[in-house]
Amino acid sequence: MTETKNKTAAENTSASKEFQLEDSIHKAEEFFNKNKNSIIIALLVIVVVVGGSFAYNRFIKAPNEKKAQDMVFHAQQYFEKDSFRVALNGDGNYYGFLQVIDKYGSTKTGQLAKYYAGVSYVKLGEFQKGVDMLKDFSSGDQIVQAMAYGLTGDAYMELGKTEDGIEYYKKAAHHSNNELTAPTFLFRAGLALEKANKPADAIAVYKEIRDKYPQTQEGREMDKYLARLGEVRN
Q: What is the dihedral of CA 154, 155, 157, 162, to 10 degrees?
A: -100
* Confidence bin at 226 (pLDDT 50/70/90): very high
Q: What is the pTM of this model?
A: 0.73
Over residues 187-199, mean pLDDT: 97
Instruction: Supply the pLDDT for residue 64.
Output: 58
* CATH number belonging to the domain at 139-233, selected among 3.10.105.10, 3.40.50.300, 1.10.10.10, 1.25.40.10: 1.25.40.10
Over residues 72-91, mean pLDDT: 94
Kindly tell me if the per-residue pLDDT of 232 is higher than 90.
Answer: no
pLDDT digits (tens, 9 = 90+) for 127-142: 999 999 999 999 989 9
pLDDT digits (tens, 9 = 90+) for 8-56: 444 444 445 454 545 555 554 555 466 656 545 544 444 444 444 433 3
Which of the pair, 105 or 47, is modelled with greater confidence? 105
* Domain chopping of the chain, boundaries: 27-136, 139-233
Alpha helices (runs of H) in 81-107, residue ranges in sequence order: 84-89, 97-104
Lowest-pLDDT range, 47-56, 63-72, 178-187? 47-56
**Cα atoms found within 13 Å of the Cα of residue 194, Cβ hemisphere only:** 13
* Confidence bin at 225 (pLDDT 50/70/90): very high
Per-residue buried b or exposed e for 146-163, using 16+ beta carbons within 10 Å of the residue's own CB: bbbbbbbbbbbbeeebbe
Kindly tell me if the per-residue pLDDT of 145 is higher than 50.
Answer: yes
